[in-house]
Every structure is written in structure tokens, then in C-alpha cells.
Amino acid sequence: MSQKVTKPITLALSKGRIFDETLPLLKAAGIEVLQDPEKSRKLILQTSKADVRIIIVRATDVPTYVEYGAADLGIAGKDVLIEHAATHPGALYQPIDLQIAQCRLCVAVPKGFDYEAAVRQGARLRVATKYVSAAREHFARKGVYVDLIKLYGSMELAPLIGLADAIVDLVSTGNTLKANDLVAVEDIMPISSRLIVNRAALKTRRAELQPLLDVFEQAG
């Protein structure tokens, strides 16, 4: 008699803070991850539950894996979700704010740069950021003209080296800004990570997903 092979539930996570902060949530559900992504080069990690596996992808790729159903679930920062939604509106179901990986999206400038005066005078600011959609929306709401320069990391360098007047970046302790003689001049929004779910899986695998959704619901 042929046995029906069911695909394990696949949860997409990024290495580092999201993986680290998700582990205790999984543990509370009795799910142990059997490999450490910091030590192993493996990208598919087994868990103590045969029907649940973890895939390790870049933070910015988590929404893509979930949208196309390669993963049923994922955990991604609001920053990443806003940028993804700009080109893929409504593609993901986002039921739960897990309150992990908390930080703020801010505008920052070099110490001594009079941001308020520049804005008042209607100067056209050059702003470097990885978060182009969130930044565009923020400055449009304020009625400030900006030229946005897309970067993929180390935004703090841009104003120090003459690439931009200001940056839009994530701030948590403020240590990175401080180390680079920058100051936050505007809070755009608080950021935390959310559970995201593939829309088709939500319908076709609801019964299998529900226990995990319940666990994350309790954590959120």
C-alpha cells in the first residue's frame, strides 16, 4: 500500500536576531531546532517535530519564500514587510506581531547638521537608505523634497563621506549612530517582527498550521 507523503510545515527565518528570538517561542511549543545555523552551513534545519522544518534565508528574502509558498510561514521585520508590500501589495497574510527584534526606523544626520532648518528652508535633501518605500512615504507626508539613494547596508557611512545629507535607518541602542557621530532627528515608526503566512497554505493546510499559529499568537 502506498503511503501518502506530506510535506513538512516550513518556517522561513533569518540568521541572527530573528532566529535567536524565535527559538524560545518554538521551545514553548515543544519544538527544538536540531542544528545551529551559526555553526552549520546547512540551510534546511530539522526540528524535534518531524513535520516542522526551518529554512534559513536572508531577512529581506523571507517574504518572497512565503509569498511563493516555498515556505508556509516566516518571520520578518515590519521594515522588510513594508518594502516587500510596495511591489507585492497584499501578497502575505500577517496575523501576529511577535514583538521581537524591536527597534525604531529613524531619520539621522551628522551631529551639527541643522535638519529642522534645512526642512524649513525647503532644501532638497539627499537621503540614503535601504528602506526606500518607508522613507518616501515619510517625507511625502511631511511635504519634504528628497532624493532617495538606495543602499543595501552601512547607511551610517553615507553622510560621513558626502554621499547623502541624512539617512533613514534602524536604531536600537543608538550605539551605531553614536560611533559615527550621527544623531537621530526624527522617529518614523517603531519596528518589530511579524509572523507571515502563505495565503494558499492558510486555506489548504489550516489544520496543520493552527497549533503553530496558536503558539505564536500566545507569544505576540
Contact residues for ligand ATP, defined by CB under 6 A: 14, 16-18, 58-60, 77, 79-80, 101-103, 170, 172, 191, 193
Q: What is the DSSP string of 152-174?
A: SS-TTHHHHTTS-SEEEEEESSS
**What is the smallest separation between the CB atom of 76 and ligand ATP, expressed in angstroms?**
7
Query: Are residues 166 and 109 in contact, defined by beta-carbon separation less than 8 angstroms?
Result: yes
Q: Which does 175 bind (CB under 5 to 8 A by kind): ligand PRP, ligand ATP, none?
A: ligand PRP
Spell out the long-range contacts of 37-43 with Cβ–Cβ below 8 A and sequence spacing 24 or more.
none
The region of 25-33, 85-93, 173-181, 207-215 touching ligand PRP under the rule CB under 6 A is 173-181
Give which of 143, 95, 94 is closest to 122, Cα–Cα.
Answer: 143
Nearer to ligand ATP, 11 or 119 (CB): 11
184 binds ligand PRP per the rule CB under 6 A: no
Q: Which of 94, 102, 176, 180 binds ligand PRP (CB under 6 A)?
A: 176
Residues forming beta bridges with residue 74, ordered by sequence position = 12, 196
Cβ-based nearer residue to ligand PRP, 112 or 153: 153
| Closer of 80 and 119 to ligand ATP (Cβ) | 80
Q: How far is the CB of 175 from ligand ATP (least distance, A)?
A: 9
From the list 19-27, 76-84, 105-113, 171-179, the region that binds ligand PRP by CB under 6 A is 171-179
Task: Supply the DSSP symbol for 60.
Answer: G
Burial of 208 (0-12, 13-18, 19+ CB in 10 A): middle
Compare residues 18 and 201 and give the one whose CB is closer to ligand ATP.
Answer: 18
Q: Does 171 bind ligand PRP (CB under 6 A)?
A: yes
Report the C-alpha gap between 118 and 131 in whole angstroms.
22
CA gap 88, 79 in Å, rounded: 14
